[in-house]
Structures are given as C-alpha cells and as structure tokens.
Amino acid sequence: MATDERALPLCVDLDGTLIRSDVLWECLVALLKHNPASLLLVPWWLLTGGRSRLKRELAKRASLNTGNLPYNQELLEFLRTEREQGRRIVLVTAADEQLAGRIADGIGIFDEVHGSKDGTNLKGRKKAEFLRAEFGDRRFEYVGDSLSDAHVWKLAGAAYVVGNGAAAKRAAAVTTVRRHFPGTKSSAARWLGALRIHHWSKNVLLFVPLLLAHKWGLRPFMMTALGVLFFGLCSSGVYILNDLLDLHSDRAHPWKNTRPFASGELSIPSGLLAFVVLEGLALGLGATILNGKFAAALVLYLVATTAYSVRLKKVVLLDVFVLSSFYTLRIWAGSLITATPLSHWLLGFSLFLFLSLSMAKRYSELLHASELTASGNSGRGYRACDRELLMAIGTASTFSAIVILSLYVHSTDVVALYRRPGLLLLMCPLLLYWACRIWLKAQRGELNEDPVTLAMSDKVSYFVGALGLAIIYFSSPIH
C-alpha cells in the first residue's frame, strides 16, 4: 500500500465485521438469562428513544463480557499490523458508544470510538454523513460487512469487505476494494450440530413402556415413532435456546467454545427463530396428531429445561436431579401416547439409574474443566473437590437401581408378564457392568458426552443391549 493511502484513517465497523456477532442481540440473550423481566421494557425504550435508547438501556443492564466475544481474528491481526505501521484506526459502529468503548479498550488498537448515542443510530446513511463530516469525501477507508454499509463505501477512498460476495460486489460498484475477508458460512453441518440430532437417540426411551408392556402392535409402534420425532423437534429447540443462554460461559469452556452460536458461525436471530419454529411444530403436531396429554408433557419438558438453563443448572446437586428427571419424563411421555400404565418399579428404577448417569456426566465435566470451576467461570456451582462426592452419590444410585430391578424380578407383577421370570435376574449383573463401565470411563476422563448418547455409538453398549434382549426373549414374555 502506498504511503498516501496508509495516511487515510481506517474506519472499522463492529457488528458482523470486527466480531462475528451483533452486540445488540448479545445483550438481549444475556438479559434473557439473567434478568428476563427487564425485556418487557423493550417496547417502551423503542417508543421513547428509538433504537439508540434501546441499545443504551440494553448495554447498561446486560453486563456483557466483551473479552470473549467471537472476534474476527484475521481482521484483528490485519488491523494490528496497520496500527503498528502508524495508521490511524477508528471504530465506527451502530452499537451503543459506551459499550463500543469498552470493547475498544479491551482490544487496545483504536485511536477513536464513535457509536450510537443521543438519539442517533449510527448506521447506513447516518454513519456515512457522520464520516463525511468527520473526515471528508474520499478521505477515509472503511471496513464493513453488510449492504447498509454501501452508503459509507460511496464516500470512502477504499473498501475492505468482510463476509459474503454480495457485499463485496456492492462495495466494488462504488469504490476500490482493497481486500475481502471471507466470513463464516451457516453450513448444514453446523445447523445439524446445533440441533443435536445425535441426541435424538435419547428419545428411544419413549418405546420403553411399549416394550415392557409387550405391546407389539403396528399402530402403537407408529404412534410412538411419531412421538419420538416430535420430542426430537422439541428437544432440538431446547438445545438451541440453551446454547444461546450459555453463549458467554461456553466461550470460556475448553470444548464448548466451538459450538456454532458461541463461535459466531450461526447468528443469534436465526437461533431464536429456529427455537420458535421447532417448538411450534412439536407442540402443534403433538397435540393434533397424537393427543393433548403428550403435548402437555412436551410443554412440561420445555418449561423444565428452560428453568434448568436459566437458573437450576447453577444450583448444586439440584441441577443433577433435574437433569436426570428429563429421561424419566421421556418414558412418561411415551406412556401417554398409547395410554400404557407405568409401574412404580419402572419409575423407581429409572429415577436412580438416570441419576447415576447424570452424576457421571457432571463428574466428567468437573474433571475436564477443573481450571474453570476453580475460577468460578464454569456456569455451575461446583468446585473441583466435589468430584469424589458426585462419584459416591452416582455409584450408590447405580446399586439402588439394581436392587430395585432385583426386587421387581421377585414381584408378582412379573409373573403376569413372563413364563420364566427368574432368568430376568441375569439383567442385574449385566446392567451393573454397563453402569460401572460408564463410571470407569468418567473416572479416566474418557466420558466426553452424555452417557445415553455414548451408548448409541458404543460397541460394548450394543453388545450389552443384545444380551439384555436375549435374556428377555428366553424369559418367554407372555403376549
């Protein structure tokens, strides 16, 4: 670049350019998690002060952690190089000016910061007018990402474009494009990751009531299969909402920082829209195609998981009890589809077994994120020293579940369902082996996912499952 070109100040946009996100939406989801009642004031702020006041009020209340925003590292390195070579770098953004100032202070390369304030939303034409008054026509260069930045590029000496080709073409039509920084693409693979399709495997628990009641008809099977689909849609929406609420803690996590929303690969507005669509489909189809009781179970799951994401996951021990109840809730939802009664044996067994697996999951998280728990930045209320207690509770819960299973085998309920119920006792050591193996993997630091999800891709789990089905078959179920 020639000396006279570098002498021009380089003005940089923030949202979608310097960061792969939008601080307005970042503030909104932060308030949704920490102070959702304040969002009721959003219409009032818009009516009384427009978008400028809305941004100021959100910025004041959100307590946004500007240090872990998803910065565009390629652009940031370029700006640092320009600054080191003596160029004047200016942050010019439609974000609230005070919040933009905090972000600029953390980066430490900007000579000036200009943002929305005093009723002026510094975007599009207003940003172009501001830069013309500040520097003059063609007396600055501008880094932007959106089509609204075309108003600024018309007045700029040159353009630097972040993102898609449409913005680059728009900039090239009105000025010289010196460099194009490719943006992130919302690929189908990243959306599948956000939807957690692999976690739909947990929904096979809806078939448990049919299996244990020996209902082998095509109609109940198909109805339950639809229930699995609708529960999957609901749970995917919940996973997206949970990721949005956990944006800032995920960015500080050893492996969760690569999640699509935390990394900025998927936008917050698209996530909120996907949540609404998925929940609408799940509840609407569940109520109309299946029945209202199943839809009510989905509503309960949605409310409970949202409460878990917002508050309960930070309450020590209670979080694990609530997490384990989601598995039992799936079994209960499956029973509602076909009006299959649940025995107290099954409920007791599932509560203890899934409590053990949830403890294993939390134990593994503490093992992998000991530095975060020590600094209080894990999003949980645990300390690293709590691992031993979680293991003790978890293994005790495993044995409690096995005891309940052994008592069930000796109960009168089994006689009505099996001709040779004594063989079912073989299920006890089989399940005990499987659960203890899960805990062994957790203790070794090899449990990097949900235990139930792990079972769906684990050869040993499939072998144990096949043996379990063989035991049930040779116990001669009464049809």
SS (H, E, C) 238-287: HHHHHHHHCHHHHHCCCCHHHCCCCCCCCCHHHHHHHHHHHHHHHHHHHH
Residue 478: CB partners within 8 Å, gap ≥ 6?
A: 214, 416, 417, 418, 419
Q: How far apart are CA 418 and CA 471, in angstroms?
A: 11
Mean pLDDT of the chain: 88
What is the reported pLDDT for 2? Answer: 46
Mean pLDDT along residues 335-352: 91
Question: Positive or negative, the Cα torsion across 298, 304, 307, 311?
Answer: negative
- Cβ atoms of 9 and 135 closer than 8 Å: yes
- Partners of 161 in the β-ladder: 144, 180
What is the reported pLDDT for 400? Answer: 95
Residue 228 amino acid letter: V
Neighbours of 440 (CB within 10 A): 12
pLDDT digits 0-9 by tens, 236-252: 999 999 999 888 888 87
- Record the pTM: 0.84
What is the reported pLDDT for 479? Answer: 66
Q: What are phi and psi of 372, to 5 degrees?
A: -70, -40
Max avg pLDDT among 173-182, 230-239, 253-262, 411-420: 230-239
Please tell me which residue, 189 or 292, carries the higher pLDDT value.
292
- Is a pLDDT exceeding 90 seen at residue 283? yes
Q: What residue spans define the domains of the chain?
A: 3-181, 187-338, 343-479
pLDDT digits 0-9 by tens, 419-439: 888 899 999 999 999 999 999
What is the reported pLDDT for 4? Answer: 55
What is the reported pLDDT for 463? Answer: 93
pLDDT-based confidence at residue 371 (cuts at 50, 70, 90): low
Mean pLDDT along residues 405-428: 87
- Is a pLDDT exceeding 50 seen at residue 145? yes
Assign a CATH topology to domain 3-181: Rossmann fold (3.40.50)
pLDDT cut 90: percent of the chain above it: 55
- Partners of 177 in the β-ladder: 159
- Partners of 91 in the β-ladder: 12, 113
Q: Do domains 3-181 and 187-338 have the same CATH topology?
A: no
- Is a pLDDT exceeding 60 seen at residue 287? yes
What is the reported pLDDT for 183? Answer: 72
CA-based nearest residue to 393, from 307, 453, 319: 319
Residue written as tokens 């495993």?
398
What is the reported pLDDT for 3? Answer: 43
Q: How far apart are CA 127 and CA 150, in angstroms?
A: 11
- Is a pLDDT exceeding 70 seen at residue 5? no
Mean pLDDT along residues 186-213: 87
Residue 144: CB partners within 8 Å, gap ≥ 6?
A: 13, 17, 152, 153, 159, 160, 161, 162, 167, 171
pLDDT digits 0-9 by tens, 219-232: 999 999 999 999 99
What is the reported pLDDT for 1? Answer: 47
What is the reported pLDDT for 413? Answer: 78
CA-based nearest residue to 206, from 119, 330, 54, 80: 330
pLDDT cut 70: percent of the chain above it: 95
Q: Name the DSSP letter for residue 113.
A: E
Angle between helices 292-310 and 268-285 (to 10 degrees): 150
Cβ-count burial 423-432 (b if 16+ within 10 Å, e if not): bbebbeebbe
Max avg pLDDT among 1-10, 118-127, 395-404, 456-465: 395-404
CATH of domain 187-338: 1.10.357.140
Mean pLDDT along residues 90-111: 93
Report angle CA 238, 243, 244 to the nearest 5 degrees. 100
Residue written as tokens 């978008």?
51
What is the reported pLDDT for 219? Answer: 92
- Is a pLDDT exceeding 50 seen at residue 114? yes
Q: How far apart are CA 448 and CA 93, in angstroms?
A: 40
Report angle CA 297, 302, 306 to the nearest 5 degrees. 150
Mean pLDDT along residues 163-179: 87
Mean pLDDT along residues 447-468: 85
Of all residues in the chain, what percent are helix, strand and coil, respectively (each to 5)? 70, 10, 25
pLDDT-based confidence at residue 96 (cuts at 50, 70, 90): very high
What is the reported pLDDT for 377? Answer: 46
Q: How far apart are CA 312 and CA 321, in angstroms?
A: 10
Q: How far apart are CA 223 and CA 92, in angstroms?
A: 56
